[in-house]
Amino acid sequence: MFKILFIIKKMLYSYIMKNIFLTILAVFTATVLLGCNLFSPKVFPNKVNFEKDSSYALGLNIGAGLRNDLLADAISPDFNEFMKGMKDGMSGKNPRFSLTDARAKIETALSAISEERNAVNKQKGIDFLAENAKKPGIKITPSGLQYEVLTEGKGKKPVETDSVKVHYEGRLIDGTLFDDTYERQQPATISLADVIPGWKEGLQLMTVGSKYRFYIPSELGYGAVGNGPIPPYSTLLFVIELDSIVSKKAAVQEDDWSSWGSW
């Protein structure tokens, strides 16, 4: 049992850093592969070494784990066909198609789900920005960047080659907070050359001492790729407070840019 769990864990870790959907693919693949190699009647010893309740408990745990993983990503397979596939995989007899074809079909289905979700997320962002543009005080640049001035400073404006020290918080349009220098009680020093287009453009609108709220369309953010907890095609909300423009030498010395690397 522990060997089985270890093998499954290794397969999951090899995929999880790439894509959450590939994690589910790994669960399916591991189930079928382990079924063929370890659960086939030809491999089982003649004497059953798991009694009735233990055998049921093993199946219950595997089934519950699969169910939780699928529900977490809103994946709903046809249960009858799913069980047929499990049965054929465990018996190792006369599968409908090869494991190579099986993996290709799973990837196709997961890609379709991903595209559908991305389309929904993208449209939510478009709708949000359309409504937000109607609010008083909202300014819109030719690129589609929206912003409002919370506090206007009197210092200089940074240029694209500058590094700056900022405080900020970043949220999704549903209010989810994904980064916050105020919470860490330490501003971030960043280079404008390294940030997403929405930040690069927005920071150059600000004078030192200013505090703006930016509404960044996905095409000025992380687009179709996303970043960590930021899903693909996400519209981003940032409150940014421009503390100062720092010299290149000071920026290198401080190097206090947070775990997010560069917005």
Beta bridge partners of 147: 139, 214
Rg of the chain over CA atoms, in angstroms?
25
- Per-residue pLDDT, 156: 95
At 86, the pLDDT band (50, 70, 90 cuts) reads: confident
Task: Quick: pLDDT tens for 212-226.
Answer: 999 999 999 999 889
Give Cα 175 distance to the centre of its chain: 16
Name the strand (E) or helix (H) holding 198. helix 197-203
- Per-residue pLDDT, 20: 46
Name the strand (E) or helix (H) holding 6. helix 2-16
Instruction: Compute φ and ψ for 141, nearest 5 degrees.
Output: -90, 165
Q: Going by C-beta distance under 8 Å and a sequence separation of 6 or more, which residues neighbour residue 3?
A: none
User: Checking DSSP bridges between strand 177-180 and strand 163-172, what pairing results, if any?
Assistant: antiparallel
| 148-186 core/surface letters (b: 16 or more CB in 10 A; e: else) | eeeeebeeeebeeebbbbbbbbbebbeeeeebebeeeee
Question: 0.85 exceeded by the pTM?
Answer: no
- Per-residue pLDDT, 139: 98
Q: Is-contact 139 202, C-beta < 8 A?
A: no
- In three-state secondary structure terms, 135 is coil
- Per-residue pLDDT, 4: 40
At 124, the pLDDT band (50, 70, 90 cuts) reads: very high
- Per-residue pLDDT, 232: 93
Instruction: For the chain, give every domain's residue range.
Output: 2-96, 135-254
Task: Quick: pLDDT tens for 173-191.
Answer: 999 999 999 999 999 999 9
Which residue has 């007899």 as its token pair? 93
What is the mean pLDDT of the segment spanning 47-52? 82
Give Cα 169 distance to the centre of its chain: 18
Q: With 60 as the cut, is the pLDDT of residue 127 above it?
A: yes
The highest-level CATH class for domain 135-254 is alpha beta
Q: Is-contact 242 256, C-beta < 8 A?
A: no
